Amino acid sequence: MNSSELDLDALARLARLALTPEEKATFQRQLADLLQHIERLSQVDVTGVEPSAHAHPLQNVWQEDEPQPGLPPAEALRNAPARRDQMIAVPKVVE
C-alpha cells in the first residue's frame, strides 16, 4: 500500500467528518501502516470460497405485520438537539 493512494480529503468527505490538517496527517501515516498489515489478506487463496456476511448462515427472517405500540412523540423527541413544536429543527435544506 502506497500511502499517497490514501486520499484523506475524499474519505473525510465521504464519511462526513471535518478533519483538521493535523488529524489528516496522523491518519494518513497510521492508516498506511494498517493497510500494509491488512494487505496480507491478498496472500490467502480464496478461489471458490463463498463470502460470509455473518458467522451463521442466516435466512430471511419474517414476522407478522402487526401494529405494535411505538415511542410516543415526546419520548422520540427527547434526545433531539433542536425542536420546534413536535418536530426536529434542522438548517434550511432547500431555498
Partner 1 sequence: MTTSTTPLYYLSLAEAAAALSSGRISSAELTDAVIARAEAVEPQLHALLSADPAAARAQAQASDARRAAGKSLGPLDGIPIGLKDVIAVRDQPLTAGSRMLANFISPYDATVTRRLREAGAVLYGRHNCDEFAMGSSTENSAFHPTGNPWDLERVPGGSSGGSAAALAAGEALATLGSDTGGSIRQPAALCGVVGLKPTYGRVSRYGLVAYASSLDQIGPFGRTVEDVALVLQAIAGHDERDSTSLRAKTEDFGAELRGPAIPRRLGLPREYFGEGLDPEVAAAVEQAVSYYRGLGCEVRPVSLPHTPYCLDTYYVLATAEASSNLSRYDGIRYGHRCAEPRDLNDLYSRSRAEGFGAEVKRRIILGTYVLSSGYYDAYYLRAQKVRTLVRRDFLQAFADVDALLTPTSPIPAFRRGEKADPLAMYLCDIYTIGANLAGLPAMSVPCGFTRAGLPVGFQLLGQPLGEAQLLALGHAYDREHQWGRRHPNL
Binding site for partner 1 (CB under 8 A): 6, 8, 11-12, 14-20, 23, 26-27, 30-31, 33-35, 37-38, 40-44, 46, 49-56, 58, 61, 63, 71, 75-76, 78-82, 88, 90-93
Q: Of all helices (H) and strands (E), which one includes residue 88?
A: strand 87-88
* CB of 67 or CB of 81, closer to partner 1: 81
**What's the closest the beta carbon of residue 4 comes to partner 1, in angstroms?**
14
**Contact in structure between 29 and 22 (CB atoms under 8 Å):** no
Largest CA distance in the chain: 58
